[in-house]
Homo-oligomer: A and B are copies of this chain.
Amino acid sequence: MGRTEVPPGTAKAVRVAAGDLIRVIDVEGGQVGDVFAFTDSGTDLAEHHSAAHTRAATDRLFPAVGEAFVTDRRRPILTLAEDTSPGEHDMLIPACDPARYAALGAPGHRSCATNLREALSELGLGFTGPAPQPINVFMRIPVGADGRLSWLTATSRPGDAVTLRAELDCVVVVSACPQDLVRISDAGLSPLAIETVHNGGTRS
């Protein structure tokens, strides 16, 4: 088992093998995390988790325990194995990015899209495409009967966690979302942590 701290507003990447567990922990509570997953065939990050393909596979807007997240090639890459949080996670909203903060009057602000590239770069992996749409753990974007989205503040408690099982060898990136201009995270930015549990694959 390994533990990786994700300081507030930054991201970390971990490599896991099929069968391994990845636990994303909201250390202090109320912190949104953007989770990205890429199949790992060495240096090729061409295949990644796709929110749209996952919706078509599960016929749901949002993740549910026991269901798989699939890639843009429709292969299961992660399964939501366990969830100790209130269970609200978003899969409608893209990662925050430089354009988002420029529009909010804060050019140069940290973003999950740039965090993604930094975290992959720390593993020696380059990624030049647009940031895939993430799984936004602990993020609350309820949908009204009229199809209207609301942006609410995370209600996850200290220590709440989602546990993902890798279905393929993959690289998982977790960004402790730096968004502090729209109150999706509670009471300022706080850290996340990633725990990986080696479960019979070839890596730890």
**Contact flag A147-B62 (CB < 8 Å), given A73-B99, A99-B73, A99-B74:** yes
Taking CB atoms and an 8 Å cut-off, the chain A residues in 81-100 that contact chain B are 92-94, 97, 99-100
**Interface residue total, chain A, C-beta cutoff 8 A:** 31
A1 at the interface (CB under 8 A from B): no
A170-199 residues with Cβ-Cβ distance < 8 A to B are: none
Closest Cβ–Cβ distance, residue A114 to chain B (whole Å): 14
Residues of B near A97 (CB, < 8 A) are: 74
Among the listed stretches A2-10, A19-27, A47-55, which one makes contact with chain B, having 4 or more residues with CB under 8 Å of it? Answer: A47-55
Given contacts A73-B99, A74-B100, A103-B74, contact A93 B147 (CB under 8 A): no
- Per the bound structure, the CA–CA distance linking A73 and B145 in Å amounts to 29
Determine the chain B residues whose CB is within 8 A of the CB of A147 once the complex forms: 60-62, 143
Beyond known contacts A61-B92, A75-B99: 12 more, CB 8 A cutoff: A50-B94, A52-B94, A55-B92, A55-B93, A59-B148, A59-B149, A60-B148, A62-B147, A74-B97, A74-B99, A74-B103, A129-B130
Q: List residues of A whose CB falls within 8 A of some B CB.
A: 50-53, 55-56, 59-62, 72-75, 92-94, 97, 99-100, 103, 129-130, 133, 143, 145, 147-151
Closest 8 CB pairs of A and B: A52-B94, A74-B99, A61-B147, A52-B133, A59-B149, A72-B130, A53-B94, A56-B93
